[in-house]
Amino acid sequence: MNSFKNTIFSIAAMVIVAFSFAQNKALVLLQKSIATNNIDSSRIMINQLNKVGLSTLDKARFAYCKANYYKLLNEDDLAYTNYLEAKTTFLQLDSLSKVAKINIEITSLLLAIENNTIDYNVYINEFLEYAQQSKDTQFLSEAYMQLGKSFYNSNPNLAITYFFKALKESRLKKDVVYEARIMQNLGATYASDKILKLDSALFFYDKAMKVYEQKQLKEYISYIYINRGVVFTKQKKYEKAIASFHKADTVSVQEFKNKNKAIIYDFLANAYKESGDYKNAIAYLEKQKVYQDILDENEQKKAIIEIDTKYKTAEKEKENIALRGVVSQNKMILSILLIILFFSIVIGFLAFKNIKSKKKIVEQKKEIEVTNLVNQLKENQLHEIDKMLLVQDKERQKIADELHDNLGSLLTTLKINFETLHHTEKNTTLFDKTNQLIDEAYKEVRNIAHLKNIGVIGKEGLLVAVKKMATKMSVPNKIVFTVIPSGLHNRIDNTIEVLLFRIIQELATNCIKHAQASEVNIYMNQYDNEINIMVEDNGKGFYINNIKHNEGIGLKNMERKIEQLSGTFTIDSKIGKGTTIIIDLPL
């Protein structure tokens, strides 16, 4: 009897294990299906799993999968409900890492909802607390990322600070795709109406796009095209904006497809309207309305699909009947027409190709001539800049030597003579004052003589030099310079360090003399093969077209010198909103 009971228990245990294994396998398949945006397959598996009993752990995992599924369908209320259910269940199981992950998912979801009234800060704070305790760089990066998003509207400057912190943590993990997402958010923040530094926005969008194209991430490529279109619209470059939105429309995406279409057509309608093309504006507004209705009315969506299916079926049947009649009666005529059409297309194509080839050859010749002329002009300009910098260096050296060797020695002799007179004359007070003045003059001469070595000295390097400069130039309650580095672990070529230091020093001086700024941030980022410098102030700004050739290096000369080294020098300034200057230099 006991043997029979043991056998029964063994069989039952095997059935339970097999059943549990089947459930786990089904959940894994569901996760993969959702991750690949396979909506139909995911819906079928969810319906099947709804009918079976699950363990507590599998219930939590299943709720998390359903939340991600409903997020794909833009059904945010159902996604939010299932995220909360998954969080509650994982808390019961003491799976804190899972809870932290869900907190960030909820935050991301709530931030994406327009006119959201739910407080998402509680989820961010819980996530950040766990990330700091676990010292997980990926978690910290995600936390700073979501903090940046949360301040996007209320305090965009603070949002930018958090995005740069997220970028710093992300680089430790070397996740280039996540870095690109952070840069995309930086671009969106710079393009916001409160900051409106549009060249900076395009700079970060372009960096993100390089990664997305390399990884062939279609959804993100589409988003960048949309972002660029928005910037071009704000710049009133409507042709560029419309072209960018159309590129976004041609990218085949699966995730948030309907929402993506509604956004693109809304922006296209606005761009056409602003450019004066009201016909296309109305057409795309109607398209946008169709996709918006699909998003808002699920029942309407089902009805439209059902009507469309019936309509296509009926039309297909009519088409088949008509086609059979035409084929039976006019088979010979159709064949002749097809042959004529084929030869017409071939002849037309060859003629078009011949005309296009000739036109292309002419355009290429003109382009080569223009390119040669531009290169010659650039070469002449850069040669002049090199000569100017060489003359400046020689002049500084000559002045420093003259001060040190001639005036310095004269002051030293004069000081000795005065000290001798001090012991022979009675008017010691006058001699003390005169001796003090001579001492101060001598120190000043020594300082001037050593100006040529300020900054990049010996083993200090660029970062240390810039930090020292920032400390010296900061004046409490008037102007504060802050250096925010990332990377810069290895020294670079000394010539480049000296050039960059001089440029940063000149830009910082401009902030004091002209910008009327109270805060200046100097971002210094070094990647594998490039260095990025960004000097950002909150001063009065200026009109870029009004830049004058001032004494010293000058903004135009800085730009040409950076271009000589195959780098880029970008100026973004707006009256009343400060100035940002970005240097991107390959190493």
CA angle 342, 345, 349 (to 5 degrees): 145
Contact between 556 and 547 under an 8 Å Cβ cutoff? The reply is yes
Read off the pLDDT of residues 161-185 as tens digits, 9 standing for 90 and up: 889 988 888 887 778 898 999 999 9
- Looking at the domain assignment, is residue 415 inside a domain? no
Name 78's Cβ contacts closer than 8 Å, sequence gap at least 6.
Answer: 66, 67, 70
Q: What is the per-residue burial (b if ≥16 Cβ within 10 Å, else e) of 33-46?
A: bbeeebbeebeebb
Percent of the chain with pLDDT over 70: 72
- Looking at the domain assignment, is residue 322 inside a domain? no
Contact between 101 and 134 under an 8 Å Cβ cutoff? The reply is no
Q: What is the mean pLDDT of the chain?
A: 78
Place of tokens 């039976």: 328
- Looking at the domain assignment, is residue 479 inside a domain? yes
Contact between 241 and 229 under an 8 Å Cβ cutoff? The reply is yes
pLDDT at 269 over 70: yes
Beta-bridge partners for 530: 586
- For residue 519, the model assigns a pLDDT of 94
Taking residues 572-583, what's their average pLDDT? 91
The H-or-E segment that residue 212 falls in is helix 198-215
Name 249's Cβ contacts closer than 8 Å, sequence gap at least 6.
Answer: 261, 264, 265, 268
Read off the pLDDT of residues 9-23 as tens digits, 9 standing for 90 and up: 444 444 444 445 556
* pLDDT grade for 409, boundaries at 50, 70 and 90: low
Q: What is the pTM of this model?
A: 0.50
- For residue 65, the model assigns a pLDDT of 92
- Looking at the domain assignment, is residue 446 inside a domain? no
Number of H helices and number of E strands within the chain?
Answer: 20, 5
- Looking at the domain assignment, is residue 582 inside a domain? yes
Contact between 181 and 208 under an 8 Å Cβ cutoff? The reply is yes
- For residue 298, the model assigns a pLDDT of 47
Lowest mean pLDDT among 2-16, 127-141, 447-461: 2-16
How distant, in Å, are the alpha carbons of 389, 401, 444, 513 from that of 451? 16, 11, 11, 19
- Looking at the domain assignment, is residue 409 inside a domain? no
Q: Pick the residue with more confidence: 546 or 502?
A: 502
Q: What is the per-residue burial (b if ≥16 Cβ within 10 Å, else e) of 59-96?
A: bbbbbbbbbbbbbbbbeeeebbebbebbbebbeeeebe
Q: What are phi and psi for residue 282, nearest 5 degrees? A: -65, -40
Lowest mean pLDDT among 192-201, 305-314, 422-431, 522-531: 305-314
Strands in 425-487 per DSSP E = 480-486
Cα 253 to Cα 183: distance, rounded to the nearest angstrom:
21
Q: Residue 475 has what DSSP assignment? A: B
- For residue 412, the model assigns a pLDDT of 65
- For residue 202, the model assigns a pLDDT of 94
- Looking at the domain assignment, is residue 261 inside a domain? no
Strands in 403-560 per DSSP E = 480-486, 519-526, 530-537
Q: What are phi and psi for residue 54, nearest 5 degrees? A: -125, 155
18: Cα separation from own chain's centroid: 48
- For residue 543, the model assigns a pLDDT of 86
Cα 352 to Cα 29: distance, rounded to the nearest angstrom:
52
- Looking at the domain assignment, is residue 79 inside a domain? no
Lowest mean pLDDT among 25-29, 116-120, 184-188, 195-199: 116-120
> Which of the residue ranges 122-131, 370-379, 400-409 has the most confident prediction, judged by mean pLDDT?
122-131
First to last CA, the chain: 82
Nearest 10 degrees: Cα torsion 448, 454, 457, 461: 180
Taking residues 192-217, what's their average pLDDT? 92
Taking residues 377-406, what's their average pLDDT? 60
Q: How many domains does the chain have?
A: 1
pLDDT at 121 over 90: no
- For residue 289, the model assigns a pLDDT of 84
CATH number (domain holding residue 564): 3.30.565.10
* pLDDT grade for 143, boundaries at 50, 70 and 90: confident
State the Rg of the chain over Cα: 35
Closest CA to 500 of 572, 383, 586, 580: 586
- For residue 552, the model assigns a pLDDT of 45
Enclosing domain of residue 570: 461-586
User: How many Cα atoms sit within 13 Å of 71 on the Cβ side?
Assistant: 22
Cα 303 to Cα 307: distance, rounded to the nearest angstrom:
6
> Which of the residue ranges 255-259, 477-481, 493-497 has the most confident prediction, judged by mean pLDDT?
477-481
- For residue 240, the model assigns a pLDDT of 94
Cα 11 to Cα 267: distance, rounded to the nearest angstrom:
63
